[in-house]
Structure 1
Amino acid sequence: MRTGGVGAAVAQTLGDAEVDLPVRTFGIPEAFLPHAKRGEVLADIGLTPAEIAGRIGAALTRIAVRPERASTAAGARSATRARTVAAKESQA
């Protein structure tokens, strides 16, 4: 299990802003890891550049297959931008 971290913070911030974007987090599990060189530990937990790139590629492929998700995300971004502009205008 992974807890906290930058990915979790980004996902939470996007969720709080009602931005519907898929977020994949990568991190070191909160568990005892056997002692080894850094590269070996990262390989053991699937955090090599090749493994991360593969997981990102697979996620992007799944998203590309579902175009309705992309249009929903674009709509959410537009709505968020509109709220931001309206808030700034009301403060001016």
Structure 2
Amino acid sequence: MPELSTFITTSTAAAIFGISLGVMLPAVAMGWAVSRAMDALARQPEAEKAIMRTLFIGLAMIESLAIYVLVIVLIVLFRNPLLEYLIR
């Protein structure tokens, strides 16, 4: 059973690494997008509606990436498909 505990520890560490990257990178992308949108608003205040609409759609797409990462990490943690092969 030492390989089982090693496998569980390794998959947990991989899940932690995955969720940290999966949350950190979309957060950086969101900050970059908001920064660019504020820059665009400062240059062309009359285009506020178009810029904000595009910004919110883009932010929703970026946030969906973080949610997909969360779902995959939860699957790896709680229903790891490779765990069945080690238990046998």
* TM-score, shorter chain, exceeding 0.5: no
Relative contact order higher in (CA < 8 Å, ≥ 6 apart): 2
Q: Higher helix share goes to which structure? A: 2
What TM-score comes out, normalization by structure 2 length? Answer: 0.37
What TM-score comes out, normalization by structure 1 length? Answer: 0.36
